[in-house]
Structure formats: structure tokens, C-alpha cells
Structure 1
Amino acid sequence: MIATKLFVFALFAGVLAVEEKPVAEIITESTIVNPDGYSFDFKTSDGISRHEDASLITVGDKQGIAVKGSYSYLTPEGEEYQITFTADDKGYKPTLRVVPAHQ
């Protein structure tokens, strides 16, 4: 019985010791929607950002959408990952750039 109480106490203490991350807030945000495309961007307080532009395209007799954009985020080690991309009838093509943490 004592072992069970100690286990429950240890489990409860472990739950309390888990560090809670602060909730990210949106710092900036913009959205534009048109009949032939859209554009949006946002930045958050935890270092995430995204920008995207899209437009209608015609390939043969089919219509679709082409997207160009970028997003970035910080790793737990302090590096910033910056990804730029295009997505269209030729596929998804991302490019990654890693910015080292400030020493």
C-alpha cells in the first residue's frame, strides 16, 4: 500500500514537473482572396512565419492552381529553417536554407 502511494505521488510530481510551453500568438496576419487566386502571410510570437501566393493556371484543357511561397521556424537548438517552394503542374519543389543559431 505504501509503495502504491509513493508511485502515485511520484507520478503526480512528474506531471507537475513537465514544462509548459507558452501559447504562440499571431503577431501579423494578412489575407487577400480574388476570383483568380489568393495571397496570405502571418508571423507568430514563437518565430514561425509563412507567405503564400496562388493563381489559377491552365494546362492543356484543365485548370488548376500554382502556388509560390515560403515558411520558416526556429528549432529547439535555435537554428532557423527557411523553406521556399513552388507547387504547380510540374510538382512540389521546396528549397531549404538553415540559418545557424546566434552564438
Structure 2
Amino acid sequence: MFKLVVAVSFFIAVTLAHPQSQQDKDATLVSSVFADDGAGNVNYAFESSNGIKQQASGQLKEVADSSGNGQQVKTEVLTGSYSYTAPDGTPITITWVADENGYQPQGDHIPKGP
């Protein structure tokens, strides 16, 4: 659960870090949902009046223990997205997965490697 709180905090900070216009400063929360069943399944979403949207869901997954002892351990796997309009009017959308392989964002404006 701690990892989820850290991940959610990170994504909210990233979303709110872009430069703010007057519309952004006066934004209000339009909708917000958070559900945690206590068994590792979580869902959250929010939308603000200035068009910022974010959503994520997560569940526990068994993966091989990184110590190489051949045992399985449970880890939280989160998937989600966030979107906003850049100051130049460009719509920005990021989809992401956070799992045993780390944070993996995807978006049209993210530079692609060779």
C-alpha cells in the first residue's frame, strides 16, 4: 500500500507541475474516485475543471523473487494514464505501467530511442 501512495503522489505531482495559466489556478475538482478492496486491488481517478484527468488501477501479481532463490513474491502492478493541455495548446496524454520492471510511460510527445 505504501508503494501505491508514493506512486499516486508522484503522478499527481507530475500532473500539477506543468506551468499554470489563470484557468489552472482557478481549477476545481470535477470528479474523484478512490477504491481499495484491502486485498491489493485499487482504482482511482480524478478530473479537474481545466481538463486535467488522471486514472489508475492496480492489483497484486506474483513474480519471481529478485534474490534468485526461485520463490514467488507478490508485487503491486499499476496501470494508468493522465492528460492535460500544454501551454501551447497541445494535448498531452501519457499512459503508463508501473510493475516489477519499473515505471514505463508512453506518449506521442516522449522521445523514442533508437
2:94 maps to which residue? Answer: 83
- SS of 1:97's equivalent in the other structure is coil
Query: TM-score normalized by structure 1?
Result: 0.69
* Distance in 2 of aligned mates of 1:90 and 1:32: 25
- 2:73 counterpart of 1:62: yes
Matched positions, count: 79
Give the 5 Å matches for 1:1-103.
21=22, 22-34=25-37, 35-60=39-64, 61-97=72-108
- Per the TM alignment, residue 27 of structure 1 is displaced from its structure 2 partner at its CA by 0.7
- Per the TM alignment, residue 91 of structure 1 is displaced from its structure 2 partner at its CA by 2.1
* Distance in 2 of aligned mates of 1:58 and 1:23: 43
Q: Please tell me the root mean square deviation across aligned C-alpha atoms, in Å.
A: 1.6
**Which structure has greater strand proportion?**
1
Q: Share of identical aligned residues, percent? A: 27
Q: Which amino acid aligns with 2:43?
A: S
Higher relative contact order (CA 8 A, sep 6+): 2
Q: Which moved more, 1:78-87 or 1:54-63?
A: 54-63
Structure 2 alignment gaps of length 5 or more: 1-20, 65-71, 110-114
Structure 1 alignment gaps of length 5 or more: 1-19, 99-103
Higher-Rg structure is: 1
Query: TM-score normalized by structure 2?
Result: 0.63
Give CA deviations for 1:1-37 in whole Å, capped at 9, x if unaligned.
xxxxxxxxxxxxxxxxxxx823211111111111222
